[in-house]
Chain A
Amino acid sequence: MARVVVDVMLKPEILDPQGQAVQRALPRLGFDGISDVRQGKRFELEVDGPVDEAALARIHDLAESFLANTVIEDFTIRVEEVAEAAK
C-alpha cells in the first residue's frame, strides 16, 4: 500500500479571504513578521497496489476533475513513503 498526497491551493491571483482572516489574527496572538497566509486543502489517498505511471495518471484525472476546481485552484501530486513499521 502507498500513500499519494494531493495538495490543492487557490491560484496566486485568487483572493483568499480565509487565509487573510488567519493572517489578521496573527499579531493578536503575538506572531509578528508573517506577511501573508494562504489556506489550502490536503488529500491523502491510500492506494492499493503499486503506484505506477498508470495509477498516477488516474489520480491526476481525479485531482483535475474533482479534488481541485481548476478555474480557481492549482494542485500538486506526490507519492509519500509509508514507513515499513506502519505496514
Chain B
Amino acid sequence: MTARIGVVTFPGSLDDRDTQRAIRVAGAEPVALWHKDKDLKQVDAVVLCGGFSYGDYLRAGAIARFSPVMEPLLEQAKAGLPVLGICNGFQILTEAHLLPGTMLRNNHLHFICRDQKLRVENAGTAWTTDYAPGQEIHIPLKNNDGQYVADAYTLDKLEAEGRVAFRYVVRGEAADGCGNPNGSQRDIAGVSNEAGNVVGLMPHPEHAVEPLIGTGRTDGLPFFTSILKKLVNA
C-alpha cells in the first residue's frame, strides 16, 4: 500500500487538481479533502494548496484558518503529521500559527507570475530530503501577497535553528528568475516548524513535476518524492 496524501480544497482554491496530479506523478495516492470535512480520512500527510481561499477577503488565509478541516489538521500537525503549505497554503499556516511570521502585499503592489530561482537551505525537512543542501531550483511563482515578514527576534531564531527552508536567489538579472520578487525579509521563500514536519513556501513546486508544463523542468517533484520516501520508510 502506498502513502495517501490529502489535498484540501477550500472555496477559492485553484491548485488542488495540479497538486493531486503531482502527488500521483510522484507515486503516491492523492486523497481529496473538503474544507468542511471534520476528519482527515486517515491520510499520511496533507498539502494545503494555492489559490485564494474564501476570496482572501479579510487577509490571505485568515478565514480558511477557521474552517472545520483545520481543527483535526492543527491537532495532528502538532503531533507530527507532515503538512506542506504552498502559497495560499503557506498563508493559512501562518494565520494558524503553525508557522511563524506572516505575508504582506508584494512590495511593488503587482501580482507577480514568473519562473523563480530558489536555493534549498534545509534539505532535512519532511518535504525536502530529495534535494541537496544549497541546491538551486527553478519553479513557478505567482502571488499577490508574498512578502514574508516577521520581527527580528523571530527571523534570528529561524536562521539559528535552520528553519529558513528556501531563499530567493538574488544574484543576476530578474529576467532569469533571480532577485527577491516581493520584498520578503532576508529573501525568505519558505520556512519550516521546529520539528520539520510542517513546511510552507510561496512558489509552486506542483506546477513543475513534468517536463511538458511549467518551467519545462521537474524541479518541483522532489517535494513529493521526499514525503513519499519518508512515509514508505516510516
Residues of A within 8 A of B (CB): 14-15, 17-18, 21, 66-67, 69, 71-72
A64: shortest Cβ distance to chain B, in Å? 12
B186: shortest Cβ distance to chain A, in Å? 14
Is the CB–CB distance between A17 and B107 below 8 Å? yes
Is the CB–CB distance between B107 and A71 below 8 Å? no
Is the CB–CB distance between B149 and A17 below 8 Å? no
Q: Give 10 A-B pairs besides A71-B94, A71-B151, A72-B149 with Cβ atoms closer than 8 angstroms.
A: A15-B104, A17-B106, A17-B108, A17-B183, A21-B109, A66-B58, A69-B59, A69-B62, A69-B102, A71-B150
Is the CB–CB distance between B95 and A69 below 8 Å? yes
What are 18 residue pairs bridging A and B, where the CB atoms are less than 8 Å apart in the complex? A15-B107, A15-B183, A17-B106, A17-B107, A17-B108, A17-B109, A17-B183, A18-B105, A21-B109, A66-B58, A66-B62, A67-B58, A69-B102, A71-B94, A71-B149, A71-B150, A71-B151, A72-B104
B55 CB–A CB distance under 8 Å: no
B66 CB–A CB distance under 8 Å: yes
Is the CB–CB distance between B102 and A18 below 8 Å? no
Query: Cα distance A56–B2 when bound, in Å?
Result: 51
Interface residues on B, range: 10 to 19
Query: Cα distance A69–B107 when bound, in Å?
Result: 18
Query: Cα distance A17–B108 when bound, in Å?
Result: 7
What residues on A are CB-neighbors of B109 within 8 Å? 17-18, 21
- Residues from 31 to 61 in B contacting A, C-beta threshold 8 Å: 58-59
B27 CB–A CB distance under 8 Å: no
CB-CB under 8 A for A14 and B58, given A69-B102, A72-B104: no
B124 CB–A CB distance under 8 Å: no
What residues on B are CB-neighbors of A69 within 8 Å? 59, 62, 95, 102
What residues on B are CB-neighbors of A66 within 8 Å? 58, 62, 66
What residues on A are CB-neighbors of B58 within 8 Å? 66-67
